[in-house]
Amino acid sequence: MLELKNAGVVFNEGTTLEKTALNDVSVHIQPGEFVTILGSNGAGKSTFFNVVTGAAKLSKGQVFLDGKDITDLKEHQRSKNIGRLYQDPSQGTAPHLTVEENLALAYSRSRGPFSMAVQKSDQEFFKKNLKRLDMGLEERLKTPIGLLSGGQRQAVALMMSVLNPPKLLLLDEHTAALDPKSAQMILQITSQLIKDEKITALMITHNMKDALEYGDRLLIFHDGKIVKDFSKEEKEKLQVKDLIDFYDI
Amino acid sequence: MEVILRAVELGLIFAILSLGEYITVKVMDSPDLTVDGSFVTGGCVCAMLTLAGMPNIGLAAAFAAGVVCGCMTAFLETKMKIQPLLAGILTMTGLYSINLRVMGGAPNVSLFAAPVPTLLSNPDTQLIVLLGAAGLIGLLLYLFFKTNLGLMLRACGDNENMVKSSSINVDNMKFLGLGLSNGLVALSGALLAQFQNFADVTGGTGMLVLGLAGIIIGEAVLRPKTIGVGLSAAVVGAVLYRLLYTVALQLGFAATDMNLVSAVLVAITISIPVLQRKMKEKRKKNA
């Protein structure tokens, strides 16, 4: 599915500010896997995501998606197959566009550039899907999304990435900016949607409990390297106190 | 009465300018300075074709020329990574020379000798033609912004980061937005040339602010929340502004002072929210 071969990223190469963000990382993600990722700040987790989406350039190594070398593809070319959700809910949605327009942005584009983005049948379809979130969003299709709460916006952003299922979904601490209750709810919805739609997903989190509870594989990043790779069986035996040692202070 | 009618007609011509600028200022959220150049380009191109006996092809050619101007700015901005404001200024500056070339080196051209009547030649139908033009363009823009392509363009101005990560080519959207915007601006310049029966190479000064004034006054009156009302507001505002302008002229303002009036008006309108907030804070402190 997703494979990194000897991936390395160095910022400010050749200057005194040189920083190795990813150091010779090789990893292979299987189709349908839901992988959680832990690691302290600056361990290379987000750089890892950026390399996959194309937002950061590799200094060396290669990235493969479905066996195809995508190392030289631009960000917008890759994003047909790769969806990404950010920590900040405002990053994943366009605030002045309504809920239905945001959803249409993700869903209707295949119909061609000059067809109407939101059609009657779409509205029914959007309503049906928003009901799955159980947040009452199906009644607010015409509301500009900037007026919704962070949790609601993140839920819509999640729905956007699922309506047009990507091969790979990257979740970059997508619940970190939410209150505990919304965070838990979004996480459950995420897990459910990933299962229902059989999406391959990677999730960065700082919550060790979540990292153990969700997903079927756990990667731990440290100093630009993957230092631990727990399979589903190993992960089930792990406890939060086993993980704390992987963070340096 | 005659004066008011003429003001409304001019207002409708500038409404098309405001609609064009609406795309860059409101939808793409980055004002484009190409306008002061492309407005004249539209006038020049149309004037020369009108003199050659093709007034309607002239209007279409003016639109096309405007699109090219906008794409030039988009090219500088996206491919050459020049700051948006500077990219606009560069195109505008270059256009001054091009506009002179288009008119064969003459700083202004009169259309009274045009061999074929234009759409605006008959004073009885002028108002209807202009109403139709502004209305049609507004409606087409509205429908466009509801299509997938229009939605992508709006999302680009709303949240560029999100768009970048969602398989839309942001660079192409900038070409589209700036091209369409300047096409309409040039069309507005072309209609003005036919309406006034002359084209002037210096006629573009202050056009950006003038178009902006229309948008802002419209917003103050209609308080738009949706894009449909926003576009209507640009048309209504442009006409209202022209009416105010005419009143000011009647009150004895010199026509040459009007650029200052426009600039002050736009500056004040934009600063109102800030001033209101400051007043509020002051009142809170005193209370």
Mean pLDDT, all residues of chain B: 92
What ipTM describes this predicted complex?
0.83
Instruction: Compute the count of residue pairs across chains A and B with CB atoms less than 8 Å apart.
Output: 73
The pLDDT value recorded for residue B123 is 86
> How far is A193 from A182, CA to CA, in rounded Å?
16
Tens of pLDDT, residues B46-74: 999 999 999 999 999 999 999 999 999 99
Residue B18 distance to chain A (closest CA, Å)? 20
Interface of B with A (CB under 8 A): 146-152, 154-155, 158-159, 161-170, 225
- Decide: residue B229, CB within 10 A, 0-12 exposed, 13-18 middle, 19+ buried: middle
Find which of B29, B149, B158 to mutate to test the A interface (most A CBs within 10 Å of its CB): B158
- State the smallest CA–CA distance between residue A181 and chain B in angstroms: 26
Task: Mean pLDDT check: name the lowest of A108-122, B19-33, B171-185.
Answer: A108-122
Q: Quick one: pLDDT at residue B16?
A: 97
Q: Least CA distance to B170: which residue of chain A?
A: A76
Q: How far is A237 from chain B (nearest CA, A)?
A: 37
Model pLDDT, residue B45: 96
Mean pLDDT of A45-60: 90
Q: What torsion do the CA atoms of B245, B247, B249, B252 make, to the nearest 10 degrees?
A: -140
Q: Which residues contact A68 (CB under 8 A, 6 or more apart)?
A: none
Q: How many residues does chain B have?
A: 287
For the ranges A109-118, B59-68, B93-102, the lowest mean pLDDT is seen at A109-118
Give the pLDDT score at A79. Answer: 82
What average pLDDT does this structure show over B111-138? Answer: 92
- pLDDT tens by residue, A92-111: 899 999 999 999 988 887 78
CA distances from A43 to A46, A204, A227 (A): 8, 12, 10
Nearest-CA distance A92 → chain B (Å): 5
User: What's the pLDDT tens digit per position in B210-234?
Assistant: 999 899 889 888 888 889 999 999 9
* pLDDT for the residue numbered B57: 96
Q: Indicate the residue of B162, B167, B225 with minimum beta-carbon distance to A93.
A: B162
Give the dihedral of Cα atoms B221, B225, B227, B230; nearest 10 deg: 10
In this prediction, residue A249 carries a pLDDT of 52
Scan for tokens 């050659």, then name that residue: B52
**pTM over the 0.95 mark:** no
Please tell me which residue, B274 or B195, carries the higher pLDDT value: B195
pLDDT for the residue numbered B6: 92
Q: What is the pLDDT of residue B144?
A: 96
Q: How far, CA to CA in Å, does B100 sit from each of B92, B109, B112, B186?
A: 13, 10, 19, 15
| B254 φ/ψ angles, rounded to the nearest 5 degrees | -75, 140
Each residue of A162-176: pLDDT tens digit?
888 888 999 999 998
Interface touch B154/A114, C-beta < 8 Å: no
Element (H, E) at A37: strand A34-39
Which of A68-82, A170-184, B187-201 is most confident? Answer: B187-201
Residue of chain B minimizing CA distance to A96: B158
What is the predicted pLDDT for the residue at A13? 83
**In degrees rounded to 5, what are phi and psi of residue A60?**
-155, 165
pLDDT tens for A213-224 read 898 899 999 888
Residues of B in contact with A116 (CB under 8 A): 146-148
The C-alpha R_g of chain B, in whole angstroms, comes to 19
Question: pLDDT value at position B82?
Answer: 95
Higher pLDDT, B284 or A52: A52
Identify the band that residue A15 occupies on the pLDDT scale cut at 50, 70 and 90: confident
Q: Which residues of A touch B163 (CB under 8 A)?
A: 94
Mean pLDDT of A79-92: 85
Q: Are A91 and B162 a contacting pair at CB < 8 A? A: yes
